[in-house]
Structure 1
Amino acid sequence: MKQLYEDLWVSTPELSVCETESAWMMHGFLLQHERGNMLISRVENAEDHQTIAGLGGIIRHYLSGWQEAGPGARQLQQRFNSALYCHTRALGPVSAFVEADDTFNLAEVHCGSFHLVPTPGHTPGSTTYLYASPFGKTYLFVGGTVIRDGNRWVTLQLPESNETDLRKSLEFYRALRPDVVLMSVTRGHPGWCEVSVRQWLALLDEAEHQPRDCRQRVVV
C-alpha cells in the first residue's frame, strides 16, 4: 500500500483484463479514522493485508458496488473481525463472496463523520462515501460512478446501468466540493486525483458526455 495523506492509504493496483481492452486497475483505500481504521472498496493483495495489519487492522469495510467483492473481502473480515457494509441492492452478488454484516438503502452517517450516500446509476447499488479529514482535505470515494480512463473522465455503461439515475447522481455530485476524488477503478491512471471546484465541475461535465460502453465486456 502507498500512503497518500496523513490518514489515507491506497492499495496496490489490482489488474483485470477485459476481453478486448488493456488492463483496468482496481483500487482500495484505508482511512485512519479516530474510531478505528476503515477500508473502502477492494483490496485483494496479500502484502496489502499485511500492511493493514501493521497499521492496526480495520473495524469496518465499505463496498461502493458489487464489483468490489472478492475472496479478499472474506479474508479481511475473518482476519480482523471487521464489519462489512454494502448497499441493499448490491447484496445478492456480494453474497457470492462474503456475508455482509449490514446493508443500507438511504444516506447515513457512521462514526460521527463518515457519510454514506447511495448514488445509483452506474449500478443500482452504487454508493459514494464522503469524509472531511481533520487534516484539512475532503475525500470523495466515488467507486465506479465517474472514473479516469487514460486522459479522459468517463462514466461506464454496464448491463445494469441506468442513465436516468446516473444523471441524478452526477447532479448531486455537482453540489459537493471535494479536494480529492478517489476511484475504485481506472485505466492508465492512479486511483485518486486532487481537484479544485472548477476542475471538479468540468470533469463531471466531461464524464457525463463521455459514456464508455462496457455492456458487452467484463470490467472487473
Structure 2
Amino acid sequence: MMQLYEDLWVSIPQELTEGAVTPPLMMHGFLLKHARGNILISRMENPIDHQAIEEAGGIFRHYLTHWHEAGPALPLLQQRFNAALYCHNKALGAVTHFAEPDDTFSQAEVHCGSFHVVPTPGHTPGSTSYLYASPNGKTYLFVGDTLTLYDGRWVTMLGEDSNEADLHQSLDFYRALRPDVLLLSTTSGDVPWQEVDLPRWLAILDEAENSPLDLRRGEVDA
C-alpha cells in the first residue's frame, strides 16, 4: 500500500481482467484510519496489501461500493482480521457467492459516528458512496465506479445492470457534496485519487455526465 494522507492509504493497482477496454482498467482499494478502528473500502486482492493491513493494525470493517468488488479475498480478509463485511442489500446476492456479509444497508446511514454511507445507484442498483470528514481537515468521497478518470477523461461507467436515469440522479446528488479528495475504485491509470475544489468538482461531474464509458461495448461514447 501507499500512504496518501495521514489517515489514508491506497492499494497496489491491479488490472481488471473481466472487461475488454483499452487502455485496461485498474482496481484500487483504500485503508482508512478511523478513531474506532481501521476501515477497508472497495476491493483489495493482493496478499502484499493484506500484509500491509496487518502491519497497520488490521481492519475491523470492510465496505464494498458495489458488487463488482466481490472477489476471492473477501472471506480471507474476514477470517484473517475478524472484519465485518458491509454492502448494499441489492448487492447481497452477488457478494454471497464469495462471502456472507455481516450487515447490509438500503438507505443513507452514518456508521461509527462519522462515516457516511450514501447509496448512489446507477452504475449498479446497489452502488454506494462513502463520505468521511477526516480530523486532518480534508473530506474524502469514495465514489466506487460511479465515475472515474479514464484515458484522461472523466466518465461515468455503464455495465450490464446499470440504470442511466438512476446514474444521472446520483450525479445530481453529488453536486450538493463538497469533497476535498475523490477516491476512485477503478481507473485506467495508477492514480485513483484527485484533490478538488468546488469549481473543479462541478466541472468533473459535467464532463463525466456527458462521457459514458460503456463496458458492454468496450468503448467510450464520443
Does residue 144 of the first structure (1) align with residue 152 of the second (2)? no
Q: Show the counterpart of 2:9.
A: 9
Q: Show the counterpart of 1:124.
A: 125
AA aligned to 2:32 is: L
AA aligned to 1:40 is: I
Report Cα offsets for 1:142-165 as digits up to 9, x if no partner. 000010102100001111111111
Report the alpha carbon displacement of residue 20 of structure 1 after superposing the two structures with TM.
Answer: 5.0
Report the alpha carbon displacement of residue 216 of structure 1 after superposing the two structures with TM.
Answer: 4.0
Counting only pairs closer than 5 Å after superposition, residues 36-185 of structure 1 correspond to structure 2 as: 36-185=37-186
Q: Show the counterpart of 1:196.
A: 197
| Residue pair 1:109, 1:116 contacting (<8 A) in 2 also | yes
Taking only aligned residues, the RMSD between alpha carbons, in angstroms, comes to: 1.0
Report Cα offsets for 1:86-111 as digits up to 9, x if no partner. 00000111111111000000101000
Question: Following TM superposition, where does structure 1 have runs of at least 4 consecutive aligned residues deviating by more than 3 angstroms?
Answer: none
Pairs aligned (count): 217
TM-score, normalised on structure 2? 0.96
Cα distance in 2, alignment partners of residues 197 and 21 from structure 1: 31
AA aligned to 1:8 is: L
Range with bigger deviation, 59-68 or 10-19 = 10-19
AA aligned to 1:130 is: L
| Structure 2, gaps ≥5 residues long | none
Cα distance in 2, alignment partners of residues 56 and 186 from structure 1: 28
| Residue pair 1:150, 1:189 contacting (<8 A) in 2 also | no
Q: Show the counterpart of 2:216.
A: 215
Report the alpha carbon displacement of residue 22 of structure 1 after superposing the two structures with TM.
Answer: 3.1
Counterpart of 2:117 in 1: which secondary structure? strand
Cα distance in 2, alignment partners of residues 147 and 20 from structure 1: 14
Q: Show the counterpart of 1:30.
A: 31
Instruction: Report sequence identity in percent.
Output: 64
AA aligned to 1:41 is: S
Q: In structure 2, do the counterparts of structure 1 residues 133 and 20 end up closer, same or farther at CA, with 3 Å as the change threshold?
A: closer
Report Cα offsets for 1:68-88 as digits up to 9, x if no partner. 111111111000000000000
Counterpart of 2:173 in 1: which secondary structure? helix
| Structure 1, gaps ≥5 residues long | none
TM-score, normalised on structure 1? 0.96
Report Cα offsets for 1:92-140 as digits up to 9, x if no partner. 1111111100000010100000000000001000000000000000000
Range with bigger deviation, 193-202 or 9-18 = 9-18
Report the alpha carbon displacement of residue 189 of structure 1 after superposing the two structures with TM.
Answer: 4.6
Report the alpha carbon displacement of residue 23 of structure 1 after superposing the two structures with TM.
Answer: 1.9
Cα distance in 1, alignment partners of residues 74 and 6 from structure 2: 24
